[in-house]
Amino acid sequence: MKKYLVTGGAGFIGSNYIHYLFEKYSDIQVINLDKLTYAGNLENLREIENRPDYQFVEGDICDEKIVDDLMKDVDYVINFAAESHVDRSIGSPDDFIKTDVYGTFVLLESARKYKIKKFVQISTDEVYGSIEKGSFVETDPLMPSSPYSASKSGADRLAYSYFVTYDMPVLITRCSNNFGQYQYPEKLIPLFITNAIEDKKLPIYGDGKNVRDWIYVLDHCDAVDFILHNGKNGEVYNIGGGNERNNLEITELILNGLGKSKNLMTFVEDRLGHDRRYSVDCRKLESLGWRPKYEFSKAMDLTIDWYKNNQWWWKKIKSGEYLDYYKKQYKMK
């Protein structure tokens, strides 16, 4: 019986990971430590919330006491907790530094004290910065360009330092852009799907030619679990979907998928410091035997259908604090 401490498990990827774990294993225990920021949502976990092998703890990864109390008999730590949205990091970086850097430090210190068997730091492909041609390998230098990616780079290298200095069993993953169910509708794909359903404008930054490599969230979850069990301590693993698309292509896919007019597309001011292209070389992970399983267009169809059929989930979110944020962001009336 292995015990997982999943941080940020009420967010998009963390909640998908917890569902993934319970579908795959019958002999595990999962503790979900989440601060429930604007991005944390317990409705993502309602099907499993009463399981005896699952425990939710509301708390901050920066809080040493809570972290120490939970860490005592844990086997694996998977650190998803983070402030994750680039636009928010441009407006107010403070919480990014606190959670993404200091919070990771608190978890690492506690994991060291309790001799945890594996510590997986969920980093991101954004730590490399932008690349015009070719793809980054794990040993390339980090050149993050936003306060978000800079704070994630800090956490990434801090985790590595605990392997080098204290021989801690740390693994680091750098995944590309995820999409799928339960993604907060501030990120490109869920924002555009939900806006299109409501016949609202889709705000495309700049010329819309920025490229991202898209991966279905359940493939990311599968890769994290694979790396936890098959990765080598101290190593970094890139994870990608192999689906590079620019934002105009993604927008058209969504509009076509929903049978909506291209008139909904609207070009807005570019994001400050907007990275042109992300691309990771995944041969290191492939050589261990892992590849994504979901075909891109099928996963996009699944995702569009999910947002069409679960309007109760996102309509609640797209009100209140969310609306205030978006009015400011796009200078909406």
**Active site (catalytic) residues:** 125-126, 148
Torsions phi, psi of 245, nearest 5?
A: -140, 145
* Minimum distance of ligand NAD from residue 62's CB (angstroms): 5
Which position among 20, 29, 60, 163 is part of the footprint of ligand NAD (CB under 6 A)? 60
Which position among 48, 66, 71, 122 is part of the footprint of ligand NAD (CB under 6 A)? 122
**Counting contacts by CB under 6 A, is residue 189 touching ligand NAD?**
no
| Binding to ligand NAD in span 266-325, by CB under 6 A | none
Q: Position 27: which residue type?
A: D
What CA–CA distances, in Å, run from 283 to 137, 178, 288? 9, 19, 9
Residue 210 interacts, among ligand DAU, ligand NAD, none and using kind-specific CB cut-offs from 5 to 8 Å, with ligand DAU
Sign for the pseudo-dihedral over CA of 185, 220, 176, 165: positive
* Minimum distance of ligand DAU from residue 297's CB (angstroms): 18
Tokens encoding 36: 């429930």
> Per CB under 6 A, which region of 19-27, 32-40, 193-201, 318-326 contacts ligand NAD?
32-40
Cα gap 96→148, rounded to integer Å: 6
Q: Position 179: which residue type?
A: F
Give contact residues for ligand DAU (rule: CB under 6 A): 84-86, 124-126, 176-177, 187-188, 191, 203-205, 210, 212, 247, 271, 278
Cα gap 130→236, rounded to integer Å: 19
Residue 80 interacts, among ligand NAD, ligand DAU, none and using kind-specific CB cut-offs from 5 to 8 Å, with ligand NAD
* CB distance 78 to 11 below 8 Å: no
Nearer to ligand DAU by C-beta: 3 or 157?
Answer: 157
Which position among 31, 76, 96, 103 is part of the footprint of ligand NAD (CB under 6 A)? 103
**Counting contacts by CB under 6 A, is residue 129 touching ligand NAD?**
no
Sign for the pseudo-dihedral over CA of 256, 19, 49, 83: negative
Cα gap 186→170, rounded to integer Å: 31
Find residue 54's DSSP bridge partners: 30
Nearer to ligand DAU by C-beta: 160 or 326?
Answer: 326
Nearer to ligand DAU by C-beta: 121 or 210?
Answer: 210
**Counting contacts by CB under 6 A, is residue 34 touching ligand NAD?**
yes
**Counting contacts by CB under 6 A, is residue 40 touching ligand NAD?**
yes
Which position among 4, 76, 184, 278 is part of the footprint of ligand NAD (CB under 6 A)? 184
Give ∠ CA 283-225-110 in degrees, rounded to 5: 115
* CB distance 144 to 129 below 8 Å: yes
| Binding to ligand NAD in span 230-259, by CB under 6 A | none
